[in-house]
Structure formats: structure tokens, C-alpha cells
């Protein structure tokens, strides 16, 4: 497609020409495991890589291909691979980019299962890692070792909303010949494009904003170098096998079509709820990348074109108050995951970040009173009314407890 059209248009059209598919407006679902070779010679030529064409759906599938081409354009990359989960994408790229004895530099506070995977790689293959803040080049540079091969960046960091400077990571990586991988799940390509800032790979838990409807688990890996992406397709992806199903890719294409309008609404809803929370006496702090009080706001402004739909806040009190507050919510659903049409709320200390030892968790700023919020697409007044009612109920409970 003509790359001069706007991103909002690419989201809907890129990678699909109805003329190639019986004039079908919607991308057809190719629910097939294998493909029929026209003759033995073609079959041999496809295996030899001398003829393009499908062989088997663990390698390529026409429905999946549309998704891969579309996300490639949206992330301004050169190629992409779709996976059966975000973690399958994370594992594929870490296995591709490291070897036994290497060292990986990661932003502190990375996704829990990515942390789990790094520990597996350390136990089994001696691939070590350091979890560090990445606000500037010096903070990163001093941790680079001769055996470092990858800088792995997740920004904004979940759930503290600390921001890592992607360009700083890229600059350090260039000096030392390292690969930069960015987990862009929290922003989606609508808000942040790490490849444009010099990253080598971007990955998504497409389960979140890319799909946006809470009904698929999937992952995407986008690369700045097409040859390298195709190499991963024919090695780690093919042989580890964590591919997406054609049906899930089809749902993902359908969900992705509304990314632009959804991200605008997720962001405006998050901003409306934050403005309200700042007026509530029981709220101690709010954390949002583009909030003026965020210490990392200048970095966030350089690399994000909107604040997105996720923020965290802390309440007065501790675990008991936080849990009592969550139990009063009705419209807002108590669930992990994020980026869905439904507003979702969760308690990191006892849920997503509960595997982290308490001391480490507190050092990251994840206290018992911290709550993470993923703004949905409901009317903002209804979200705020649900929070208001929960705060009122909490106040009544606390008052009753103190007069007992």
C-alpha cells in the first residue's frame, strides 16, 4: 500500500488487497494446516527457498501474513512475526538474540513472566541479567559488560509508570554493538514507535491494545531488518513453534481496525479519571507517563505522543484499605490484563507482582496501597461514578471502624 497515507488508514487497509482474495472486503480466514503443491518440482523449489508459496501453516499462512504486514507498517519496521502469545514472542527474540554466557540489561520492573524467562535462561544457560533504571545513557552504560548482548526495554514500566529513555538505550547499544528490544505493549504503535528511535526489535503482547477486545492471547515481533526477521521465522519460530492460529490472527485483524479510535478514547478516559482522582483525599499519589508531576515526563514527551490508557495510584492506608476499596467497585472489573473495552483494575502487590520478593517489590515502588487501572471505553462519567461510590463506601467503613 502507498506508505504516504496516514497511519490511521494503514491500520484498516495495509496488507490486504481484495483482488487477491476473491474480492473479499474482509480478510478471509485461511483455516488450514497445510498447502497443496501444484507439482513435485514446485514442492521441492518451495522447500529450497527458490519459489515463494506456502508450505505449512507453522511457517506462513495468508491470514497471518496480513496481520504481519499490517503491524510492520504500523511499527515502521521491515518485517514481523505473529505468535500464539506475547510470551512466545519474548522467548523467541531472547533465544534468537542471546547465547549461553551472555548478559542482558533490562529495565527494572519488567513483565513478571519475562522476568521468569530470564531466570530460566540464567539457570539453564548462564545468561545473566541486570534490572536497572534507564533514564539516561550513563545509567545504562555503567552496567554494560563484555558479554552483554541485549538491552531489553519495557516502557512505561508496569505498574509504577517509570519511563525508560529508548534513544539513550539505542545510543549505548550502538557504541557496544548490542541489540535493543522494546516491549511496546503498554503504548501500542499508536503512541510509541521504538524502531523509529533506533530499536532493532519491538514486541507486543497483542492480547492487550492490538486486539483490544479481551478475547485472544497473541504476540507480535517486529524487526528493523527484514532478513533477520525471516531468519527467525525459519529458525526459532519454526522450531520452537509458538505460532498464532489463523483464527486468532483473523480476530486480531478485526480488533486492530479500531486501534486509532480506541487509543484516543482510552487516553481521554484515563485523563478524565486521573483528574478526578487528584481531587480525592484518600488518594495519595497518581502515576501517569505524561502527568506534569511525573519525574520522567520529559523523556515520556520525547517518545510518546499520548499518555495512553494505563496509570497507577496509591491510597491512604495499606493492604486492607486497598482490598476494601477494590471490593466496592461494580462497573470496573477486578482483573489483570489491560487494553480492553472494559475498565480493569488490579492490585499489583498481591496479583501481577506477587512473585517478586517483598523487599525488591518495595524498592521498585510497588507498595501494598498501589492500584493499577486500565481505562476502558465506557463513558468517563460512569467510570468516575463507580470510583466515587467505592470511595464513599470505604469512608463509611473506616468511620465505622474508628468509632467502634
Interface contacts to ligand PLP, rule CB under 6 A: 85-87, 111, 113, 154, 158, 183, 185-186, 205, 207-208, 217, 219
Catalytic residue among 183, 200, 296, 368: 183
Pick the closer one to ligand PLP by CB: 27 or 110.
Answer: 110
Q: Are strands 128-132 and 310-315 parallel, antiparallel or unpaired?
A: unpaired
- Residue 56 per-residue DSSP state: B
**Four-residue CA torsion sign, 99, 100, 103, 109:** positive
Q: How far is the CB of 42 from ligand PLP (least distance, A)?
A: 36
- Reduced to 3 states (helix: H, G, I; strand: E, B; else coil), residue 129 is strand
**Exposure pattern of 367-398 as b/e (b: 16+ CB <10 Å)?**
bbbbbbbbbbbbebeebbebbeebbeebeebb
Compute the distance between CA of residue 270 and CA of residue 280 in angstroms, rounded to an integer.
Answer: 16
Catalytic site includes residue 145: no
In angstroms, give the least distance from the CB of 338 to ligand PLP.
6
- Is the Cβ–Cβ distance between 58 and 67 less than 8 Å? no
The verdict on whether 58 is a catalytic residue reads yes
Residue 34, beta-bridge partner list: 56
Find the catalytic residue in 7, 35, 58, 254.
58
Reduced to 3 states, what is the DSSP secondary structure of residue 131?
A: strand
Return the DSSP state at 245.
P
Q: How far apart are CA 37 and CA 242, in angstroms?
A: 25
Report the residue number, 15 or 86, with the smaller CB distance to ligand PLP: 86
Nearer to ligand PLP, 16 or 353 (CB): 353
Using CA of residue 339, residue 342, residue 347, residue 352, what is the dihedral sign? negative
- Between CA 334 and CA 304 the distance in angstroms is 28
Give min distance, CB of 337 to ligand PLP, in A.
7
Q: In this chain, which residue has its C-beta nearest to ligand PLP? A: 86
Nearer CB in complex with ligand PLP: 62/307: 307
Active-site hit among 70, 108, 179, 208: 208
Place of cell 519459489: 51
Check residue 317 and give left, alpha or beta (phi > 0: left; psi -120 to 50: alpha).
Answer: left
**Crossing angle between the packed helical segments 380-403 and 319-328, to the nearest 10 degrees:** 130
Pick 214 or 380: Cβ nearer ligand PLP: 214
| C-alpha–C-alpha distance, residues 93 and 221, integer Å | 8
Residue with smaller CB distance to ligand PLP, 131 or 282: 131
Quote the least distance from Cβ 111 to ligand PLP, whole Å: 4
In terms of Cα–Cα distance, which of 227, 215, 200, 235 is closest to 92? 235
Minimum CB distance to ligand PLP, residue 300 (Å): 16
Closest distance of CB 149 from ligand PLP, Å: 20
Place of cell 487528584: 278
Cell 507498517 found at: 73
Nearer to ligand PLP, 14 or 340 (CB): 340
CB nearer ligand PLP, residue 15 or residue 219: 219
In the block, residue with C-alpha cell 479500531: 258
To ligand PLP, the closest distance from the beta carbon of 321 in angstroms equals: 26
Buried b / exposed e along 239-249 (16+ C-beta atoms within 10 A)? eeebbbbbebb
Residue 282 neighbours by CB under 8 Å, 6+ apart: 315, 316, 317, 321, 325, 391, 394, 395
Minimum CB–partner distance for residue 297 and ligand PLP (Å): 21
Give the residue numbers annotated as catalytic, written as ranges: 58, 111, 183, 208
Amino acid at each position: 500500500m502507498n506508505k504516504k497515507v496516514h497511519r490511521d488508514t494503514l491500520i484498516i487497509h495495509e496488507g490486504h488487497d481484495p483482488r487477491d482474495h476473491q474480492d473479499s472486503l474482509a480478510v478471509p480466514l485461511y483455516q488450514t494446516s497445510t498447502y497443496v503443491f501444484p507439482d513435485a518440482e514446485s514442492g521441492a523449489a518451495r522447500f529450497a527457498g527458490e519459489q515463494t508459496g506456502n508450505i505449512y501453516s507453522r511457517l506462513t499462512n495468508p491470514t497471518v501474513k496480513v496481520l504481519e504486514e499490517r503491524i510492520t507498517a504500523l511499527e515502521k519496521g521491515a518485517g514481523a512475526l505473529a505468535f500464539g502469545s506475547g510470551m512466545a514472542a519474548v522467548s523467541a527474540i531472547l533465544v534468537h538474540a542471546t547465547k549461553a554466557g551472555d548478559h542482558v540489561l533490562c529495565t527494572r520492573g519488567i513483565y513478571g513472566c519475562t522476568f521468569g524467562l530470564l531466570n530460566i535462561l540464567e539457570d539453564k544457560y548462564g545468561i545473566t541479567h541486570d534490572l536497572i533504571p534507564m533514564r539516561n545513557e550513563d545509567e545504562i552504560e555503567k552496567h554494560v559488560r563484555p558479554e552483554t548482548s541485549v538491552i531489553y526495554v519495557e516502557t512505561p514500566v508496569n505498574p509504577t509508570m517509570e519511563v525508560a529513555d529508548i534513544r539513550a538505550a539505542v545510543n549505548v547499544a550502538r557504541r557496544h554493538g548490542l541489540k535493543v528490544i522494546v516491549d511496546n505493549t503498554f503504548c501500542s504503535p499508536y503512541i510509541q514507535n521504538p524502531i523509529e528511535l533506533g530499536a532493532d526489535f519491538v514486541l507486543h503482547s497483542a492480547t492487550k491494545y492490538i486486539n483490544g477486545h479481551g478475547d485472544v492471547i497473541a504476540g507480535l515481533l517486529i524487526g528493523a531488518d527484514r532478513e533477520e526477521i525471516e531468519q527467525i521465522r525459519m529458525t526459532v519460530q519454526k522450531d520452537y513453534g509458538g505460532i498464532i492460529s489463523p483464527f486468532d490472527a483473523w480476530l486480531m485483524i478485526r480488533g486492530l481496525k479500531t486501534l486509532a479510535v480506541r487509543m484516543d478514547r482510552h487516553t481521554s478516559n484515563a485523563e478524565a479519571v486521573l483528574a478526578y482522582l487528584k481531587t480525592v483525599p484518600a488518594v495519595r499519589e497518581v502515576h501517569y507517563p505524561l502527568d506534569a508531576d511525573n519525574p520522567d515526563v520529559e523523556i515520556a514527551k520525547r517518545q510518546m505522543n499520548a499518555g495512553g490508557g494505563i496509570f497507577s495510584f496509591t491510597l491512604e492506608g495499606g493492604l486492607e484499605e486497598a482490598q476494601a476499596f477494590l471490593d466496592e467497585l461494580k462497573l470496573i472489573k477486578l482483573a489483570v490484563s489491560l487494553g480492553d473495552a472494559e475498565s480493569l483494575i488490579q492490585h499489583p502487590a498481591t496479583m501481577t507482582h506477587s512473585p517478586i520478593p517483598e523487599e525488591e517489590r518495595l524498592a521498585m515502588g510497588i507498595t501494598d496501597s498501589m492500584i493499577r487501572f486500565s481505562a476502558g471505553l465506557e463513558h468517563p462519567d460512569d467510570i468516575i461514578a463507580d470510583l466515587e461510590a467505592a470511595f464513599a463506601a470505604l469512608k463509611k467503613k473506616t468511620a465505622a471502624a474508628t468509632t467502634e
